[in-house]
């Protein structure tokens, strides 16, 4: 693996989940792999879970870790070419990325979208330029349109909390009984949030559906449909209740509109899941990438119950990061 | 040891001091203890000495360390239950603490008081909730009402700089000659400071007095009396000169009023110790937790003399942290 | 080596460059040297390359590393003596430095000049006081008037990219053919920058010239002459074209005026190097300490060409730091 940016960087989803669970079972088994190697984590935006879990994963693999919080250092990067740099940007991404590549064997990069210009955000210009100029493998720690470590985490969590058998011949998880029904549902928020987490969750679950692992449904209000490039094969519904019927996993997340880009639209009806609204499910477990706004996005009655997987899910962030870093180290 | 929050978390003060001095003598003797373990240091408020000394202590014990500066990430935590989170707080302490507990084997937490509502501060709500929800041992790196790593440091420094014999049978330090007289004195400052350091110093010295290690006196102006829960057994005086007579250790510290909560009150007379005011002591050594405002809290003539222990005292922060982390690791 | 502040801290430049290139060839060969030792990096000003490269160098030598960003913690240091600290400074450098020295075996310090008072800046008061009070070896990570790790890096880069033979008997690099001609040229910028990098580059190249390694020329507009203490032996010219003739290395850098201290003066003519202006050189390589303002200080046509060494040069920052830390560790 030379980069980790989207579900397209993984072939067999069952295999990578199994490998991640094996890291979870023996966190330090591969600590020789990263010895004398440097992991650099570059944040253009704040991070809590992602930084801690990736840092821990790299350390478990024996790596040294350096963290760069570019946002807080006021280290504004120029990304355009052909610009006379007489303004506020202090360094061009061509030099900044190349230099970090000199110091690190693997780089992680977090860069959020501006949420003003869909075309610009969806071009993933910053991530792609960083990847191009740094000359070393890059792991996305969330980019403008995707959060792949979160999505891999989520897939691990779904499989870990369902009933599957791993078929060694096919190198694939086979559901014992019916395939889990996974629902991604939009939920309310007071701020306009990126589509990265739901886009990414959707592209991973669509692929998981293709590989026979789950059935996947997205519920959102009118106007909140995700970009179609990420939802191919998913069943889209506009009614949370329809989606929840017989569901095994409810993935709750707010996002701003893609169609009316970056906007918060007026929404009718109740979209915040509660224990009451879960009754129609197949005793579903509830997931969220965190941080979650209690009683705005998700009822605290769920979060404080056994139905919530959110803390275990956050814990699994380590194993998603670890399997990705491991694969990159092995390629080298 | 499952938590380190107050003097109540330690039985035998002599034993823990002896153990700390043994870590000081062989800093890396126990580095196998923390191998593959993660220490997380969570700061809701800034820190210099506490972060560095605790980080070093954890590394001496072979641990990996991750630091989270929540204040600088603008990661405002909600602590109240039953609140619709549609305001400025981005995450509830229930989730934040639980997730950090997933990533770390031991957590350190620093959280200052608001100094507006005594009842709220003295409930130690934030520390207690963090401890409850993180599901892993927690070390206080200073909370609203206490700074126990500082106080343990101070006890180590008093014993190290006095004449005691350790009685192996009783597992206790026995003074050779008269017990050291330790004085905590209020001193002036331009800002309203928490009572955490003096509260904590007082509760540790009161306990040390009970265990036959010291005699303990507190000198403060009228209105600056500490909360009585922390001063049981201490001799309170309102005159610095009376307190200094025959004193062996002078512990200098400013704090805001507890009675007129969080306020700076008008004070009569001179309260800043100088070489002149020390003449009445038994050639006393002078201590301060730092940072110290020179010539406002404490005369620079003292700080620049042999009488000052402040730098050695700060150095001892490492061994206080190390013995606490070591005991927590051993319990596991 | 007890400190690393200027070229005066190194005797034989050839030897230290050779030693650095040997660290580059085997980055982890000396990792036993720093075991159980702590490197503390103290930043009073922001840093990217310096922090990362020094952190990596220390880790390569087996050290633990702690970083302190004093600027961001609002930890304002008092440096004057005899001042009643009732203002905005929270700690005196006497205590702050001494305490950091308690926790660390080697300290690195970055402190920029104020650019208002030449005498104050050129006294290097802050660096000198820190060195005096911390009681442990100190490496400059750039001070008011010098950036010695950058300059050592630059010398390594010049020698690595030229044709020399190392004479073992003389312990010196001998040029195969003509000595490389190295040119430091002023270039435009929109901000008033310190003279630290050019001062330092100049004092190292003047010494390298004395030791028979290079010929050294400085080109600057009228009014931009550096302080003479740093340029002894250098050829000064006021015309970039004259300087570039037959040059082998062009070192590009902006700085504010020393004579009209800290000011940006009106400048006539073109001072930004481009591929066109390089034609007159001996196929010169181009260097810059970074960050560089593209098409303001330096043409992007150069930066994007094979003539640019800036990324390799930044990479060499690790080996400059590593050889310095190694020498300090060996002295202990």
If you search the block for the tokens 């390298």, which residue do you land on? C208
DSSP C43: E
- pLDDT greater than 60 at residue B222: yes
Tell me, yes or no, if B305 comes closer than 8 A to chain C by beta carbon: no
Q: How far apart are CA C205 and CA C217, in angstroms?
A: 9
Chains that touch A (3 or more CB pairs under 8 A): B, C
- pLDDT greater than 90 at residue A122: yes
Q: Is C155 annotated as a binding residue?
A: no
Shortest CB distance from B296 goes to which of C81, C85, C98? C85
Q: How many domains does chain B have?
A: 2
A264 and A132 within one domain: no
pLDDT in tens, chain C (332 residues): 999 999 999 999 999 999 999 999 999 999 999 999 999 999 998 888 999 999 999 999 999 999 998 876 567 899 999 999 999 999 999 999 999 999 999 999 999 999 999 999 999 999 999 999 999 999 999 999 999 999 999 999 999 999 999 999 999 999 999 999 999 999 999 999 999 999 999 999 999 999 999 999 999 999 999 999 999 999 999 999 999 999 999 999 999 999 999 999 999 999 999 999 999 999 999 999 999 999 999 999 999 999 999 999 999 999 999 999 999 999 85
B13 and B122 within one domain: yes
Mutation target for C interface from B30, B44, B52, B264: give the one with most C CBs within 10 A: B52
Which CATH number goes with the domain that contains C252? 3.40.50.1370
Q: Is A275 annotated as a binding residue?
A: no
A167 and A299 within one domain: yes
pLDDT the model gives residue C75: 78
- pLDDT greater than 80 at residue A163: yes
Q: Is C47 annotated as a binding residue?
A: yes
pLDDT band at A331; cut points 50, 70, 90: confident
- pLDDT greater than 80 at residue B250: yes
Shortest CB distance from C292 goes to which of A81, A82, A95? A95
Q: Is B98 close to A311, i.e. CB distance below 8 A?
A: yes
Is residue B65 situated within a structural domain? yes
C237 and C100 within one domain: no
Q: Which residues of A touch C293 (CB under 8 A)?
A: 85-86, 90
Q: Quick: pLDDT tens for A218-229.
A: 999 999 999 999
Q: Quick: pLDDT tens for C162-180.
A: 999 999 999 999 999 999 9
List the single range of A42-46, A296-300, B201-205, C257-261 with lowest mean pLDDT: A42-46
- pLDDT greater than 60 at residue B99: yes
Chains that touch C (3 or more CB pairs under 8 A): A, B
Q: Which residues of B touch A318 (CB under 8 A)?
A: 102-103
Q: Helix (H, G, I), strand (E, B), or coil: what is residue B261? A: coil
Q: Quick: pLDDT tens for B321-332.
A: 999 999 999 985
C209 and C134 within one domain: no
First vs last C-alpha separation in chain C: 9
Is residue C225 situated within a structural domain? yes
Q: Quick: pLDDT tens for B124-172.
A: 999 999 999 999 999 999 999 999 999 999 999 999 999 999 999 999 9
Q: Which of A230, A322, A327, A242 is nearest to A280 (CA)?
A: A242
Is residue C32 situated within a structural domain? yes
pLDDT the model gives residue C69: 87
Is residue B151 situated within a structural domain? no
Q: How far apart are CA C59 and CA C321, in angstroms?
A: 11
Shortest CB distance from B102 goes to which of A27, A190, A315? A315
List the single range of A41-50, B269-278, B307-316, C290-299 with lowest mean pLDDT: A41-50
Is residue B71 situated within a structural domain? yes
Q: How far is A9 from chain C (nearest CA, A)?
A: 29
pLDDT band at B45; cut points 50, 70, 90: confident
B57 and B194 within one domain: no
Answer positive or negative: Cα dihedral of B298, B304, B305, B306: positive
Q: How far is B120 from chain C (nearest CA, A)?
A: 26
- pLDDT greater than 60 at residue A332: no
Tell me, yes or no, if A321 comes closer than 8 A to chain B by beta carbon: no
B321 and B302 within one domain: no
Is residue A26 situated within a structural domain? yes
Is residue A219 situated within a structural domain? yes
C176 and C66 within one domain: no
Q: Which residues of B touch C68 (CB under 8 A)?
A: 48, 52
pLDDT band at A209; cut points 50, 70, 90: very high
Q: Quick: pLDDT tens for A185-206.
A: 999 999 999 999 999 999 999 9
B187 and B81 within one domain: no
Q: Which domain holds residue B86?
A: 3-146+316-331
pLDDT the model gives residue B41: 97
B107 and B187 within one domain: no
Tell me, yes or no, if C305 comes closer than 8 A to chain A by beta carbon: no
Mutation target for A interface from B92, B97, B108: give the one with most A CBs within 10 A: B92
**Stretch A69-79: mean pLDDT:** 79
If you search the block for the tokens 């153990």, which residue do you land on? B19
Tell me, yes or no, if C39 comes closer than 8 A to chain A by beta carbon: no
Q: Quick: pLDDT tens for B279-300.
A: 999 999 999 999 999 999 999 9
Q: How far is A78 from chain C (nearest CA, A)?
A: 9
Chains that touch B (3 or more CB pairs under 8 A): A, C
pLDDT the model gives residue A90: 92
Shortest CB distance from A318 goes to which of B64, B92, B103? B103
Q: Is A235 annotated as a binding residue?
A: no
- Name the CA dihedral angle for B56, B57, B60, B62, rounded to a multiple of 10 degrees: -100
**Stretch B213-222: mean pLDDT:** 98
Q: Is C104 annotated as a binding residue?
A: no
Question: In the predicted model, what is the mean pLDDT of chain A?
Answer: 96
Question: In the predicted model, what is the mean pLDDT of chain B?
Answer: 96
pLDDT band at B266; cut points 50, 70, 90: very high
- The per-residue DSSP string of A275-329 comes to HHHHTTSSS-EEE--S---BTTTB-HHHHTSTTB-HHHHHHHHHHHHHHHHHHHH
Q: Which residues of C touch B50 (CB under 8 A)?
A: none
CB-based contact C145:C113 (threshold 8 Å): yes
Q: Which residues of A touch B55 (CB under 8 A)?
A: none
**Stretch B84-102: mean pLDDT:** 95
B327 and B301 within one domain: no
Which helix (H) or strand (E) is A100 found in, with range?
helix A93-103
B200 and B171 within one domain: yes
Q: In what order do the strands lie in the sheet with A3-4?
A: A3-4, A138-140, A106-110, A38-43, A64-69
pLDDT band at A216; cut points 50, 70, 90: very high
Q: Which residues of A touch B102 (CB under 8 A)?
A: 311-312, 314-315, 318
**Stretch B102-117: mean pLDDT:** 97
Is residue B103 situated within a structural domain? yes
Q: Which residues of A touch B105 (CB under 8 A)?
A: none
CB-based contact B28:B22 (threshold 8 Å): no
Tell me, yes or no, if C68 comes closer than 8 A to chain A by beta carbon: no
Q: Is B82 close to A300, i.e. CB distance below 8 A?
A: yes
pLDDT the model gives residue B328: 98
């Amino acid at each position: 693996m030379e980069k980790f940016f989207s579900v397209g960087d993984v072939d067999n989803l069952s295999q990578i989940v199994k490998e991640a669970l094996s890291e979870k079972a023996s966190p330090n088994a591969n600590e020789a792999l990263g010895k004398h190697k440097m992991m650099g984590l570059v944040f253009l935006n704040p991070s809590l879970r992602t930084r801690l879990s990736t840092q821990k994963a790299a350390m478990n693999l024996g790596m040294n870790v350096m963290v760069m919080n570019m946002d807080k250092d006021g280290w504004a990067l120029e990304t355009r070419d052909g610009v006379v740099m007489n303004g506020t940007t202090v360094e061009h991404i061509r030099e900044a990325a190349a230099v970090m590549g000199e110091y690190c064997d693997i780089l992680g990069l977090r860069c959020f979208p501006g949420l003003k210009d869909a075309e610009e955000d969806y071009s993933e210009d910053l991530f792609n330029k960083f990847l191009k100029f740094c000359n070393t493998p890059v792991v996305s720690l969330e980019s403008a349109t995707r959060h792949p470590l979160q999505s891999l985490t989520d897939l691990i969590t779904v499989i870990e909390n369902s009933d599957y058998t791993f078929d060694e011949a096919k190198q694939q998880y086979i559901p014992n009984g019916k395939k889990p029904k996974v629902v991604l549902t939009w939920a309310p928020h007071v701020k306009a949030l990126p589509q990265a987490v739901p886009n990414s969750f959707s592209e991973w679950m669509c692929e998981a559906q293709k590989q026979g692992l789950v059935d996947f449904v997205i519920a959102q209000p009118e106007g909140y449909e995700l970009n179609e490039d990420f939802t191919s094969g998913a069943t889209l519904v506009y009614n949370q209740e329809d989606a929840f019927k017989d569901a095994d996993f409810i993935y709750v997340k707010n996002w701003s509109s893609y169609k009316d880009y970056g906007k918060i639209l007026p929404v009718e009806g109740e979209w915040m899941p509660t224990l009451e609204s879960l009754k129609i499910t197949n005793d579903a477990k509830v997931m969220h990438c965190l941080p979650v706004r209690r009683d705005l996005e998700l009822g605290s009655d769920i979060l404080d119950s056994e139905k919530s997987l959110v803390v275990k899910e956050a814990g699994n962030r380590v194993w998603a990061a670890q399997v990705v870093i491991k694969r990159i180290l092995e390629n080298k």
